[in-house]
Amino acid sequence: MHHGIHIEHLSKRYGQGDTAVLALKDVNMHVAPGEVVGLIGPSGSGKSTLLKCLGAVIDPTSGRMTLGEETIFNDGRWQVRDLRALRRDKIGFVFQAPYLIPFLNVIDNVALLPMLAGMPDAPARAQALELLTALDVQHRAQAMPSQLSGGEQQRVAIARGLVNRPPVILADEPTAPLDSERALAVVRILNAMAQQYQTAIIVVTHDEKIIPTFKRIYHIRDGVTHEEAGEGRSFE
């Protein structure tokens, strides 16, 4: 059994017949629980298509995707009934711009997802606070997003990505706007959280500041992935 996320021979075709375009030709990836891997590719490489397939935002054409012990996509179709619940409960998203809800305070921004999943308010807020504490931003729990610094907003966004304890996190350019020190701090946090919650984390990036920290890297070129060993440099 593969835990974490396992992707085999994934392809994505846009259009039909002569006008068909293969955005993904043959994508193979495996990310274990507790592991943080980099996904690197130029624009037009299929990187954003892959991210959308991984996030169950668009449908792949063929191949197989397994999350934990559950096959979620196979034989050209999703194997799960409720894709919304899959996105909410199984896949955490951390984006470059932290899309925090401006009229909710920090703790409610994080507690919103477990609440939407049916958890009562008090335990949802307790779970949110636990993650805010792990990310050292608990003292801002009652603040509004507009009162936070950029680094604080990013940490709140990471807390929100992790709060439902998803087995997989997709982080899209999470360090792009940050200076070196803060970028490495985000990598340190993602690695600590991957370990603590046994999450498989995929970081899509072309940030030269953080690429040396990955132990494994997938390059995507023309819709095909190539795995290579990273430097695994310390980020302390």
Three-class DSSP category at 188: helix
Whether the pLDDT of residue 179 is over 50: the answer is: yes
Q: How far apart are CA 115 and CA 186, in angstroms?
A: 26
pTM: 0.85
Q: Tens of pLDDT along 79-97?
A: 999 988 888 888 888 876 6
Mean pLDDT score across all residues of the chain: 88
pLDDT in tens, 55-77: 888 999 999 999 988 899 998 99
What is the predicted pLDDT for the residue at 1? 41
- Provide CB contacts within 8 A for 75, sequence distance 6+: none
Average pLDDT over residues 176-184: 79
103 three-class SS: coil
Residue 6 in tokens: 């396992």
**For the residues 32-56, what does the mean pLDDT come to?**
89
Domains of the chain: 31-59+81-229 (3.40.50.300)
Per DSSP, helices labelled H in 64-179 are 83-89, 106-116, 121-134, 150-162
Structure tokens, 186:
């985000």
Using alpha carbons, select from 216, 185, 179, 221 the residue that is nearest to residue 34: 216
pLDDT for res 96:
67
Q: Say yes or no to pLDDT of 38 above 60.
A: yes
What is the Cβ-side half-sphere exposure of residue 138, based on CA atoms within 13 angstroms? 12
Encoded tokens for 30: 């495996």
Residue 158's identity, in one-letter code, is I
